């Protein structure tokens, strides 16, 4: 793992956008994208830049089940708002949280991921060490799957909703196996509420109880952290 220590998320965004720029310079074709608070500064830097993704492909890590793409809490909506409206990709794939056949939807995503292997995958990390919506206990060898969100994740993500009862209980997520297939991984973490998860990701045992710990076994991982998130390393 290579570490980039930054003073704050804004500086992290500058470094994050640089990683995207380098990937483009190395002819990356497919980008794995994340949502949540963490990547916003990176997306802000990308939208201000002259980086061009118009002949690239993107995949998103996850989507809530049951939310329409027009719902402001959906990850479809988030991606349009923070990135795609300014930096469109040739093709952006997201899991469809309204799919009538969940099984067919997951198979569709896996087929696409096989066809377009990810060159750079952007990740945040949950307080409980999740990556994507792969919660503690998720087998490392899963590809796309349906997830029952943990109470911890529902509570943490309720900050984006009017109240906790509006937070969906289920989501679709790319699996750890798909994430680990990416050529390069960029994980960003900011703030002291990420400090425990970051420390265990780096120094703890590789265990399904801390999904991000699997990244210790990947050959090409960049971690951008601020002082607070790095405080327990």
Q: Pick the catalytic residue: 130, 145, 157, 188?
A: 130
Question: How far is the CA of 19 from the CAs of 33, 51, 84, in angstroms?
Answer: 13, 11, 18
Of the two residues 52 and 155, which places its CB atom closer to ligand F6R in the complex? 155
Confirm or reject binding of residue 203 to ligand F6R (CB under 6 A): no
- CA 134, 109, 54, 220 dihedral sign is positive
**147 CB-contact burial (10 Å; exposed 0-12 / middle 13-18 / buried 19+):** buried
Q: Is 63 a catalytic residue?
A: no
Confirm or reject binding of residue 62 to ligand F6R (CB under 6 A): yes
Binding mask 27-56 toward ligand F6R (x if CB under 6 A, else -) reads -------xxxxx------------------
Please state the closest distance from residue 61 (CB atom) to ligand F6R, in A: 4
Asked if 11 and 44 count as a contact pair (C-beta separation under 8 A), the reply is no
Binding segment (CB under 6 A) for ligand F6R, from list 14-22, 121-129, 144-152, 209-217? 121-129
Please state the closest distance from residue 203 (CB atom) to ligand F6R, in A: 20
Confirm or reject binding of residue 126 to ligand F6R (CB under 6 A): yes
DSSP at 196: H
Q: Where are the alpha helices (DSSP H) in the chain?
A: 9-25, 40-48, 75-79, 102-115, 151-157, 176-180, 195-203
Q: Is 128 a catalytic residue?
A: yes
Q: Which positions lie near ligand F6R, rule CB under 6 A?
A: 34-38, 61-62, 124-126, 130-133
């Amino acid at each position: 793992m290579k570490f980039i220590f930054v003073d704050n998320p804004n500086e992290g965004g500058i470094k994050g956008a640089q990683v995207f720029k380098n990937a483009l310079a190395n002819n990356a074709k497919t980008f794995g994208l994340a949502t949540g608070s963490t990547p916003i500064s990176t997306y802000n830097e990308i939208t201000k830049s002259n980086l061009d993704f118009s002949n690239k492909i993107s995949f998103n890590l996850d989507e809530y089940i049951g939310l329409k793409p027009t719902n402001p809490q959906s990850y479809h909506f988030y991606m349009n708002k923070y990135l795609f409206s300014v930096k469109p990709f040739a093709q952006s794939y997201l899991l469809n949280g309204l799919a009538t056949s969940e099984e067919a939807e997951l198979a569709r995503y896996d087929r696409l991921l096989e066809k377009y292997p990810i060159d750079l995958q952007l990740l945040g990390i949950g307080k409980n060490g999740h990556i994507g919506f792969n919660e503690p206990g998720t087998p490392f060898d899963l590809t796309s799957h349906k997830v029952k969100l943990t109470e911890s994740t529902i509570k943490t993500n309720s900050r984006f909703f009017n109240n906790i009862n509006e937070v969906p209980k289920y989501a679709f997520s790319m699996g750890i196996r798909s994430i680990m297939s990416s050529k390069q991984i960029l994980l960003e973490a900011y703030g002291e509420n990420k400090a425990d998860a970051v420390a265990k990701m780096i120094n703890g045992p590789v265990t399904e109880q801390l999904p991000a710990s699997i990244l210790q076994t990947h050959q090409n991982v960049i971690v951008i952290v601020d002082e607070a998130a790095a405080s327990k390393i």
